[in-house]
Amino acid sequence: MKILLVGYGKMGKAIEAIALQRGHEIVGKIGSKNAQDIHLYNASNTDVCIEFSLPELAFSHIQTLLKAGIPTLSGTTGWLQHLPEVERLCQEHKGTFFYASNYSIGVNLFFKVNQFLAQRMKLYPEYKVHLEEIHHTQKKDAPSGTAITLAQDIIKELPDYDMWVNSETNNPKELPIISLRTDEVPGTHYVRYQSAIDTIEISHTAHSRTGFAQGAVLVAEWLPAQKGMCTMNDFLPL
């Protein structure tokens, strides 16, 4: 399979290594120094694009790729205010687009555990929820996309919360997410339910970028046969 990489930082390099191990061809690597080269790629020379760039660049990249007819998956976070426009573009150009806040199989299992726990905690409003996420200092956005997904799933289940905030809060309707940045931490997430009596905690700790990169390559292998907007629920029904 011919794969275009848009974004060639640490994640892009990890994806490249796994893709090559699995027998794929990397037809191009787009970074800050050759950003204009993205226009050289289209459906005739590229089977799929894996986009892990920067929040401020992702939407522009995705627009270009969908107009070029290239099935695209994105793992960039911090740009999702543009997702309705991407859906419109996908329909207009009969394209294929996949977004996940996290491509790790383990994290997606963790999402399901989080949903299960939130559903059960409806009956116990004395427990207050806190989220914490820890990432490497190079991560540009906060909170992480994974933390936002966890928070959104909790808010769907627990009527006490109206929204999440990226700070401590005394407002009982706000779900706090605390973001910490530390050198060389691939990603750690905690969900804590705390009462005066005890604390219930679930967590996920990534030991390297390998799980994220491997998941992205597996989705890339699956994506060209799909049409329209896709999510991890389509790829990995749990």
* Residue 191, domain CATH: 3.30.360.10
User: Is residue 109 located within the same domain as residue 200?
Assistant: yes
- Give me the sign of the Cα torsion angle 116, 84, 174, 144: positive
**Which residues lie across from 128 on neighbouring strands?**
194
Assigned token pair, 207 = 């030991």
The kind and range of the H/E element at 96 are strand 96-99
- CATH number, residue 13: 3.40.50.720
Q: In this structure, what is the dihedral angle of CA atoms 91, 94, 100, 105, given to the nearest 10 degrees?
A: 140
User: Is residue 13 located within the same domain as residue 34?
Assistant: yes
CA distance 189 to 197: 23
CA distance 24 to 50: 13
Residues 6+ apart with CB under 8 A from 19: 3, 26, 50, 217, 220
User: Is residue 32 located within the same domain as residue 19?
Assistant: yes
User: Is residue 73 located within the same domain as residue 49?
Assistant: yes
In total, how many domains does the chain have? 2
User: Is residue 8 located within the same domain as residue 124?
Assistant: no
Give catalytic residues, as residue numbers: 135, 139
Closest CA to 158 of 187, 131, 196: 131
User: Is residue 122 located within the same domain as residue 44?
Assistant: no
User: Is residue 157 located within the same domain as residue 220?
Assistant: no
Largest CA distance in the chain: 62
**Over its length of 238 residues, how does the chain's per-residue pLDDT go in tens digits?**
999 999 999 899 999 999 999 999 999 999 989 999 999 999 999 999 999 999 999 999 999 999 999 999 999 988 999 999 999 999 999 999 999 988 998 999 999 999 999 999 999 999 999 999 999 888 878 999 899 999 999 999 999 999 999 999 999 999 999 999 998 888 999 999 999 999 999 999 999 889 999 999 999 999 999 999 999 999 987 7
**Residue 162 structural domain:** 105-205
User: Is residue 35 located within the same domain as residue 97?
Assistant: yes
On whether the CB atoms of residues 74 and 58 are closer than 8 A, the answer is yes
User: Is residue 141 located within the same domain as residue 224?
Assistant: no
